[in-house]
Amino acid sequence: MEFFIDTGNLEEIKETYAWGLIDGVTTNPSLVAKSGISQKELITQISEIVDGPISAEVISTEAKGMLEEAYELAKIHENVVIKLPMTKDGMIALADLTKNNIKTNITLVFSANQALLAAKNGATYVSPFIGRLDDIGQTGMHLIAEIKDIYDNYGYQTKILAASIRHTDHVKASALVGSDVATIPYKVLNQLFNHPLTDSGIEQFLKDHQNAK
Ligand code: G3P
């Protein structure tokens, strides 16, 4: 399973990348806004830190504008993955980018049918937002499981990228259903290490070591 970090914070990327556990980065317009620098500058700097897929999202709502943005973003670095919204225009832009071998990530996916469309048009990644489904009283993880079944039925190569992860159980559940990737916020990545028995075990071993003859 691949882990991406979902952030526009360069310090978080540097710190977590050093762990050796991070395979890529996802950003979105809200995360870019928080970074305080332009999207171009942010993606350039991330590509200097991380050797792996870096998702950069378009802002245009029409296919023509999406494609103009996409080709500019793709010039930044070969690891750039173009993030497109799950709309008709997004699908038109996706078909073009697939034909031209540009990697893509279809975002704001909330149904299995939307994920099916993304796979049919050759998306590299599809991003179901599990936390936001939980927010409205649904079970986001069920969506990941449905997409997994559908993709397996037809052998689609599109990778499932579990997004909008809010807690460590989302990571575990994504792994259990076979999500290819989870994009995880900094706080949740840090929480993955924790177990109280690990802490008390280390404490006891250190105590015993100090008391040893
Ligand atoms: O990867 C998508 C993610 O950034 C959205 O997360 O927590 O805003 O739903 P959230």
pLDDT of residue 79: 98
* pLDDT tens digits, 136-157: 999 999 999 999 999 999 999 9
27 close to ligand 1 (CB < 6 Angstrom): no
Distance 17 CA to ligand 1 centre (A): 20
132 close to ligand 1 (CB < 6 Angstrom): yes
Distance 126 CA to ligand 1 centre (A): 14
CA distance 85 to 164: 15
pLDDT of residue 213: 84
Per DSSP bridges, beta strands 24-26 and 104-109 are unpaired
Name the percent of the chain lying above pLDDT 70.
100
* pLDDT tens digits, 85-116: 999 999 999 999 999 999 999 999 999 999 99
29 close to ligand 1 (CB < 6 Angstrom): no
pLDDT of residue 11: 98
For residue 210, is pLDDT > 90?
Answer: yes
Q: Whole-prediction pTM value?
A: 0.96
Q: What is the 3-state secondary structure (H, E, C) of the chain?
A: CEEEEECCCHHHHHHHHCCCCCCEEECCHHHHHHHCCCHHHHHHHHHHHCCCCEEEECCCCCHHHHHHHHHHHHHHCCCEEEEEECCHHHHHHHHHHHHCCCCEEEEEECCHHHHHHHHHCCCCEEEEEHHHHHHCCCCHHHHHHHHHHHHHHHCCCCEEEEECCCCHHHHHHHHHHCCCEEEECHHHHHHCCCCHHHHHHHHHHHHHHHHCC
* pLDDT tens digits, 174-196: 999 999 999 999 999 999 999 99
Query: What mean pLDDT is predicted for residues 52-59?
Result: 98
